[in-house]
Chains A and B, each alone.
Chain A
Amino acid sequence: TQLLEQSPQFLSIQEGENLTVYCNSSSVFSSLQWYRQEPGEGPVLLVTVVTGGEVKKLKRLTFQFGDARKDSSLHITAAQPGDTGLYLCAGWGYGQNFVFGPGTRLSVLP
């Protein structure tokens, strides 16, 4: 059973555009993390969100944790080719193992 779902699965945009990717679950998570993974490398942690409704910003990236702690979003402003990669959400559900979503594969074209 996939505890975390991500959408869209693939996204191809032009440099300078804005985008939002989503991470959803039917379960409550004590915390959620977002990672970015580039080809041939392991995932790299971008942010951890813990509190329902929390918003964190990392330069052009804005992360939000849903009020009910069942969903999260990642918004990128003015995307750049360097943002290309696989974006994964992951977290611990209550009483659950640490689980990753299937990821959103982002391609930013120059």
Chain B
Amino acid sequence: EAGVAQSPRYKIIEKRQSVAFWCNPISGHATLYWYQQILGQGPKLLIQFQNNGVVDDSQLPKDRFSAERLKGVDSTLKIQPAKLEDSAVYLCASSLVEARGGEQYFGPGTRLTVT
């Protein structure tokens, strides 16, 4: 079974530029999550999708971050414009069901550096 795929793996941009990350979850997984992991910290949930609907985006900085999951499969996370404090690893995860205690499978992440 293929795991969660993310691209690109690394991205370097200047502040005020735009960037997009792509995630392909495990086939059949209805729930998809985006996390931000700043160096030295644990991941922080940004947004959770159930199929193509948003379940929770309470911690997403909506003035600059946006995410979509068209057709309930792949997802993209966009930052526009980027700030220095957005430098982090962006992790995508998926799970078979949206259930507390369920297992989330994580991708390798995209490391973003904003200069």
Instruction: Using CB atoms and an 8 Å cutoff, list the residues of chain A in contact with chain B.
Output: 4, 30-31, 33, 40-45, 48, 50, 88, 90, 92, 97-103
The CA of A40 and the CA of B107, in the complex, are separated in Å by 10
**Which of B93, B103, B108 is A40 in contact with, Cβ under 8 Å?**
B108
B25 in the interface (beta carbon within 8 A): no
> Per DSSP, are chain A's interface residues mostly helix, strand or loop, or mixed?
strand
Q: Establish whether residues B109 and A42, one from each chain, have CB atoms under 8 Å apart when the complex forms.
A: yes
Q: Which residues of A contact B52 (CB under 8 A)?
A: none
Greatest chain B CB density within 10 A among A40, A42, A90 is at: A42
Instruction: Please name all residues of chain A whose beta carbon is closer than 8 Å to the beta carbon of B4 when the two chains form the complex.
Output: 42
Interface of chain B: mostly helix, strand, loop or mixed: loop
Interface residues on B, range: 20 to 34
A103 near B42 with CB under 8 A, answer yes
Q: Which residue of B lies closest to A32 (CB)?
A: B101
Confirm or deny: B106 has a beta carbon within 8 angstroms of a beta carbon on chain A.
Answer: yes
